[in-house]
Amino acid sequence: MFLRNQWYVAAWSREIGRSLLARRIADEPVVFYRTEDGRAVAFEDRCPHRLAPLSLGQIVGDRLRCGYHGVAFAPDGACVDAPGNPVPKGARVRTYPLIEKWGWAWIWLGKPELADEALLPDFHWQAEPGWAPIGGTLHFKAHYQLLVDNLLDLSHEAFLHMNTIGNNAVAEAPVHASSEGEHVRVTRLMADCPPPPLFVRARGFATNIDRLQDILFSPPCYVSITVQATPAGTNDVSQALRWQVLNALTPETERTTHYFWGLPRQFLVEDRAVDGMLEEAVVRTFNEDRAMLEAQQQVLEERSLDSRTLLTLADAGPGRARSVISRLLRAEQAA
């Protein structure tokens, strides 16, 4: 069960082109392609004739033609050809609102009349002058809320990611969690702490640092983390490590998640070697999460998370986000 009246990241814009892309989003099968004039469209990946996946068909001009019996659809979803038949009146395939912004294609699964671009979460750093963006996609065999939990309690960095972004300071520093409407914010300030390994590699810190994590959750599945580190006591922006960890945790099924991530940074923005080094470190780090969350998912297929008996202070953030999602789900069901 997923929220429907929400934008979900469906793909990197560069993934959608003149060949068909099939992807399941929040348990809905969708096929994507681009028209001759470059517009991205999203259809339900089922031919209304015999339910064959349209993604096994062909793009012909602006149309998508089913590969089974050749039924064809215009970009607006209207059936425009059923070979051997008059054009069927009113036949159509379901289409979905689709927006491209900040390098991503965002799909709206719910009522089309509610699809409002103003509801997109703010991920502008991916297309901001002065910021160097990197990014990628991972696939987790775990429910997306486990990924949200993970990102809202970064104390795990001290145990799971000690070779990249973690050290004891992250687990020891207290967090402050708060809610702003449907948003949840968790902040952690680590003053005068040793820099974790990746920070040293990326920015060459030779002394302790002052480190900030400012985490913003936006429903249904977005976590944007502002990260800043400066030599301890200096507040020297010219030496700062500053990046934004952008996470779009699109549910695929109840057990799997498309993990779209970006990491735009505000230092050494011209340095492609830093791009490569960071990308490798991020993928390594997220794969450490993946192993843990996939194991946790296996447990949760036998047992509810409600059966846990130990809560920590750092659970405040994940707990607030789960409450927001539950509240919104109840509201959608009531409507």
Let me know: does 328 contact 182? Beta carbons within 8 Å.
yes
CB of 302 to a second copy, least distance (A): 8
Cα 39 from Cα 320, distance rounded (Å) = 38
- Residue 331's alpha-carbon distances to 3, 5, 119, 213, 217, in angstroms, are 10, 11, 17, 31, 19
CB of 185 to a second copy, least distance (A): 18
CB of 259 to a second copy, least distance (A): 18
CB of 150 to a second copy, least distance (A): 9
By beta-carbon proximity to a second copy, the closer residue of 99 and 300 is: 300
Edge-first strand listing for the sheet containing 21-25: 21-25, 28-34, 40-44
Cα 8 from Cα 133, distance rounded (Å) = 20
Listed residue (187, 189, 190) closest to 208, CA to CA: 190
Cα 266 from Cα 228, distance rounded (Å) = 10
Binding site for a second copy (CB under 8 A): 29, 46-53, 56, 65-71, 79, 82-85, 88, 91, 149, 153, 155-156, 158-160, 168, 171-175, 291-292, 295-296, 299-300, 303, 305, 307-314
Q: Is the dihedral of CA 61, 65, 67, 68 positive or negative?
A: negative
CB of 331 to a second copy, least distance (A): 26
Let me know: does 31 contact 64? Beta carbons within 8 Å.
yes
By beta-carbon proximity to a second copy, the closer residue of 75 and 231 is: 75
By beta-carbon proximity to a second copy, the closer residue of 51 and 119 is: 51
By beta-carbon proximity to a second copy, the closer residue of 145 and 218 is: 145
- Residue 39's alpha-carbon distances to 17, 64, 73, 97, 102, in angstroms, are 9, 14, 15, 12, 16
CB of 310 to a second copy, least distance (A): 4
By beta-carbon proximity to a second copy, the closer residue of 107 and 170 is: 170
By beta-carbon proximity to a second copy, the closer residue of 38 and 83 is: 83
